[in-house]
Amino acid sequence: MQHPKMPVTKPFLGVACLMLSMLALTGLDATGKWVMATGVPLLFFCWIRYIVHFLLVLGIATPSLGMTVFKTQQPTLQLIRAVAMLLATLTFFTTLSHLHQAEATALIFIAPLLMLLVAPWLLRERSYPSRWIAAAFGLVGIVIVARPGAGLPWVGVLFGLITACLFTAQHLVSRMLARDNALTTSLLSGAFGAVILTLAMPFVLPQAWAVISALSWPIWGLIFLGGVCGGMGQLLQIQSYRFASASMLAPFIYLQITFAATFGWLIWSHMPDGVTWFGIGIICASGVINSVMEWRRSQRA
């Protein structure tokens, strides 16, 4: 998403906010995977997630911005971003229903490298050989993680790669939303998802009512916790870029794969095998090394 242009004076606080953001978003993924395994429909879980997200951002943004938080100078781009975010949410939770959390998270981390490849054409940015090399190594890592011998369902791998493409589109459009406040972007994306999924509920609830009405209170708590984690993850991510530059924060983003593996081990007693970790390491290394090179390039400029 577009990050507010503010003085970068507290880099360590920015890193802390980013880490908390990744922890919250990993919690969202884990709760979604858990409750869907109990039979909760995907659209119903995402509906609650978007409503809580919208209300949370609205409650935080309106005291300082009032109703102006809904005003956008780029409505078409906001709509494109909201559509990409909603589709990415649906496809990623579909991925999680087929794959373990660590492998699913690793697959979507090809998105930052894809963004570097298409940015020269869409954002008029200069292309560098280092970006192509990093993307190539990232692709090798994806092939290792999703190798036939790993036993990953092809449906999950396919939806994971679709999610990566959607995340790429979401982040590219976010960078184009230069004239809108970051809270506006987050709020409008949440509002769009909440409205679309609310319209879908008359088609979802009648068939799923037997399952939903029998849910225990702990499962309801997890559903709402997922919404809180999603909203807080977005807000903490915005806050992190207020305190630290994107180039400084970029290498830390890949730690989310470690968070996902830890959640998978604690909740489902699953830990990727050595070969899968090798592929994950290649993905992370290609992203981190490229981020460092981009930072040095910006410093020279």
What is the pLDDT confidence band of residue 5, given thresholds at 50, 70 and 90? very low
Q: Which of 68-82, 133-147, 160-174, 206-220 has the lowest mean pLDDT?
A: 133-147
Give the number of other Cβ atoms within 10 Å of residue 86's Cβ. 21
Give the number of other Cβ atoms within 10 Å of residue 224's Cβ. 14
Give the pLDDT score at 217.
93
Residue 4 pLDDT exceeds 70: no
Give the pLDDT score at 301.
63
Residue 168 pLDDT exceeds 90: no
Residue 200 pLDDT exceeds 50: yes
| Mean of pLDDT values over 56-69 | 89
Give the pLDDT score at 245.
67
Give the pLDDT score at 26.
94
What is the pLDDT confidence band of residue 8, given thresholds at 50, 70 and 90? very low
Give the number of other Cβ atoms within 10 Å of residue 59's Cβ. 10
CA dist., res. 180 & res. 72, Å (int): 6
- Chain centroid to Cα 251, Å, comes to 16
Mean pLDDT of the chain: 85
The residue with greater pLDDT, 93 or 11, is 93
Number of H helices, E strands in the chain: 12, 0
Q: Which of 44-53, 104-113, 142-151, 205-214 has the lowest mean pLDDT?
A: 142-151
CA dist., res. 283 & res. 225, Å (int): 30
Size of the chain, expressed as the number of residues it contains: 301
Residue 216, both tokens:
């225990």
Residue 49 pLDDT exceeds 70: yes
What φ, ψ does residue 131 adopt, rounded to 5°?
Answer: -65, -40
Q: Say which DSSP state 179 is in.
A: T
Question: What's the N-to-C CA distance of the chain in angstroms?
Answer: 24
- 83-87, 109-113, 123-127, range with greatest mean pLDDT: 83-87
pTM (predicted TM-score): 0.85
Kindly give, in sequence order, each residue whose CB lies less than 8 Å from that of residue 86, ignoring residues fewer than 6 positions away: 46, 50, 189, 192, 193, 196, 197
| Mean of pLDDT values over 183-207 | 93
Give the number of other Cβ atoms within 10 Å of residue 292's Cβ. 13
